[in-house]
Structure formats: C-alpha cells, structure tokens
Amino acid sequence: MNKYLVNSIYGIFAVIVIAAFAFKIFQPIQVLPRMQLAPAFNLTDQNDGTLTSEELRGKFVLYNFTYTNCPAPCYNLNATMQEVQSRLSEVELDNIEVAFVTISFDPDRDTASVLKNYANSLGSSTLQWDFVTTANKSLLKTIIGSGFETYYEDKGNGEFTFTPSFVLVDGWGIVRAEYRYQTSVPDTDRILRHLGVLADEVRNSTGTTKLAYEAAHLFLCYAP
C-alpha cells in the first residue's frame, strides 16, 4: 500500500507540473502585461476645454506623441491612428469604448486652435480622437517623458527629436502595451489584436475564468 501512496504522490506532482507546462506552452489564454500605471493628467484639448485621465477611465486609450509641425509623413503616426480607428469594427469590443489621444510636446506652437485645424486636416472625428497639450512644459515632460517613457527634445530650430511611440492603456489606467518605432514598427494588425485581447480579459474578469486569466499573467502568457 505504501508503494501505491508514494507512486500516487509522484503522480500528483507529475500532473501538476505537466498541467503548468502545458498552460505555459500552449497558452490557452493570452494576456497583455500590466506594465505600470499610466500617468494622470489634466490637459487642454483642441476645443480649449480639458481632457483628464479620469474621464478616460473605463475606456481603452491609444496614445501617441508628436507635434503638428512634424514634417510629413512623420513616421506615419497619424496614418496608424487613422487605420486603427477605421478598422475598429474588426475587433469584438462589446461595449468598451476606445479613445485616441495625441499629445503634443510643442505647446508654444500647438495652441488649441492649431490643434483644432490639425484635427480637421486629418479628417478625424474628434468624438473619439483628442489632441491635447499643456503650457506647463515641465509637467508635460513629466507626463510624456517619465510617465509614458517617451523621449523628446526640442532641437531649438523648430524641430523636435523624438521616439515615435504608441502606448495602449486599459480602463483601469494601466499601461498594457508600448509600440516603439525602434523596437517594433507600429503595426496596425498588432494594435487591433491587442485591443481584442484586452476586451477578452474584461469579458472574462469575473468568477473562475478570472483565476485562469491571473494564471496567464503569472505564467507570462503574453500575446505577441
């Protein structure tokens, strides 16, 4: 009988270990990492009103960072934003809204009216795409540079050096994905897929499926 007991215990461990490996290898559930808290902000929008991080709670938000004088095509930043918007219907989002926010790091020239004209020139629906900045340059540096970890520098000749990036933030205000130009070309398919992964997680964030999603986080089953 003792032999059976010992074998049983080995068996149990084997099953647990195999189950864990299978979960890691086959990744039945994929998630996006919870990277850090997105910075909080209160910025001026293209209508001279305000846009706060608090108003965006509950929505998925895709951020990018630029300035309106950026010589076209400016790393295709706007084209990517536009394409993601036009293809949103491909993603099963249920009722989760997706917001798009472009933060300008050139508040001297990018006043509300300039941002408004810029938005219009892109033919963007500002119902879901906001263009924002703040005259408080040190706070702007904190938000974009430290908060969103996106480098930019005023070259002094009317041009900026910057790292073209997109940042995806979930409804809890947590950064879930970063798309940096140097490391990964911002790929619309990838951004859309990630929005779908986030929506799946929200849909399944109750009861026992929540445990499976937490296991996916624990095992780092990250969506490519």
Query: Under the rule (CB under 8 A), what is the footprint of another protein?
Result: 1, 4-5, 7-9, 11-13, 15-16, 33-42, 52-54, 136, 138-139, 142-143, 146-147, 172-174, 211, 214-215, 217-218
Considering the complex, state which of residue 84 and residue 199 has its C-beta at the smaller distance from another protein: 199
Cβ neighbours for 81, distance < 8 A, ≥ 6 positions apart: 62, 64, 100, 102, 124, 129
Structure tokens at 124: 């963007």
Min dist. Cβ of residue 158 to another protein (A)? 28
**How many angstroms separate the CA atoms of 156 and 133, rounded?**
19
Min dist. Cβ of residue 202 to another protein (A)? 13
Q: How many CA atoms lie less than 13 Å away from 102 in the CB half-sphere?
A: 28
Which is nearest to 113 in space by CA: 167, 170, 46?
46
E strand or H helix at 83, and its extent?
A: helix 77-86
Considering the complex, state which of residue 91 and residue 175 has its C-beta at the smaller distance from another protein: 175
Min dist. Cβ of residue 33 to another protein (A)? 5
Min dist. Cβ of residue 36 to another protein (A)? 5
Min dist. Cβ of residue 205 to another protein (A)? 10
Considering the complex, state which of residue 106 and residue 201 has its C-beta at the smaller distance from another protein: 201
Considering the complex, state which of residue 15 and residue 135 has its C-beta at the smaller distance from another protein: 15
Considering the complex, state which of residue 20 and residue 185 has its C-beta at the smaller distance from another protein: 20
Rounded to 10°, the helix 188-203/77-86 angle is 50
Question: CA torsion 190→192→198→202, rounded to 10°?
Answer: -160
Distances in Å between the Cα of 127 and the Cα atoms of 45, 108, 131, 187 are 12, 25, 11, 24
Considering the complex, state which of residue 92 and residue 214 has its C-beta at the smaller distance from another protein: 214
Please say whether the beta carbons of 97 and 125 come within 8 A.
Answer: no
Min dist. Cβ of residue 149 to another protein (A)? 8
